[in-house]
Structure 1
């Protein structure tokens, strides 16, 4: 199930965004999703992962730019800025935006952004299971994948999923610009790396999980991580 958040200090703008999401994602594509809304950034729950956040730029207390800078340090959500002022679009690039919605051209720009988001999320999603129920998880939500007791577990920001595929088969479907296999049992999302020891023998993720980098995988990891950092 995909999870979205809408953050805007105008309820009318939240309502029309919810309606547009329902129109395209449920009525047209018939996908399962959940959409939460917030009338500002102050009470946003950072312990909940959202696949995409629709974010108004101009808000009191905490601006959309300030919030985007903070959320980018927490996890890899796709941020879609919403604004009435086209001149602000050029100011957003420092905050890694995924798309923009122009409120003064809402129908066209929202449709474009949502269709683009759908293609990115659904086409790159992995089929997984949680409590024996089938689901899909987007790659950006995955922090790492690890074999435990011969079972492949996929760890996200807030849940653990199971896959019936082998870890080698899963790796073939992943974006190798951000995912790297560091040992026989573990694949890491490089966007969640917190630190690496100078000898490149182990790394720490943002959730403080520690993993060994095998000697066999070390050279390839160094190369891919360097490319990722230069990215």
Structure 2
């Protein structure tokens, strides 16, 4: 879980950071929560374009710009959930017009912040899969997985966090443990997250980071049909 905070008030940063850490240690102790803090809006935007955040907290009144404008810009480029906060109600209505996830008023209410975090996890259905590495359990959010490939006795998990995680396991076992309809077996050595597919070719699927996932030639029609069925169902579910 990667959360970004953009605020020029160190006191507010400390308050929000402490609340988020307490929330995850209490409710999701197995999920590693990475907090990235920025006091400069330009630095934040430069970093944001190179990173994949799961959730953002942005103060509206920043020294060098307006947090609402930042939220608008991000909303055009990516669909990252954003929680704005301010001492004023002036931007609350406008915020929800840009599909804002939440709006907090100062002084910040920790209980209200926790309510938004609860709703975030309900909406995103925080599913995980775990692996043991060097005697330690490592937890991965399944929604961050682009695809999984197997080589020999190892599986390589490619994520949207620019990670390539290696574990001793079989792809058959990983697929069984995932038990998730959004993952499609395209080949004996590949399992792809259909929500991360951006392009389809006669030989492969392309995912968000530009990498290709091989499709078994003999089962091409069947695999592509499964993908199309999934996309249709997803679109129907979003409409109702």
| Residue from 143, 147, 167 that aligns with 1:140 | 143
Deviation by residue 1:190-231 (Cα, 9 ceiling, x = unmatched): 33322213xx54222232212232324232122113334554
Give the distance between the partners of 1:147 and 1:40, measured in 2 at CA. 42
**How far 1:116 sits from its partner (Å)?**
3.9
Structure 2 equivalent of residue 204 of structure 1: 206
| Separation in structure 1 between the aligned mates of residue 60 and residue 234 of structure 2, nearest angstrom | 28
1:138-171 alpha-carbon deviations (Å, 9 max, x no partner) = 1221111111223221111221223444333433
Aligned-partner Cα distance in 1 for 2:195–2:125: 20
Larger radius of gyration: 2
Query: 5+ unaligned residues in a row in structure 1: which ranges?
Result: 73-77
Q: What corresponds to 1:6 in structure 2?
A: 5
TM-score using structure 1 length? 0.75
Q: Gapped runs of 5+ residues in structure 2?
A: none
Residue of structure 2 aligned with 1:150, choices 153, 171, 189: 153
CA distance in 2, matches of 1:132, 1:161: 16
Report the TM-score, using the length of structure 2 for normalisation.
0.73
1:87 paired residue number: 93
Q: Distance in 2 between matches of 1:132 and 1:153?
A: 18
Identify if the C-alpha distance between structure 1 residues 137 and 55 changes in structure 2 by more than 3 Å, giving closer, same or farther.
farther
Number of matched pairs: 218
Q: Which residue of 2 aligns with 1:75?
A: none
Moved over 6 A (4+): 119-122
Q: 1:222 aligns with which of 220, 228, 231?
A: 228
Q: 1:119 to 1:164 in 2, by over 3 A?
A: farther
Q: CA deviation at 1:87?
A: 1.5
Contact 1:101/1:109 (8 A) holds in 2 = no
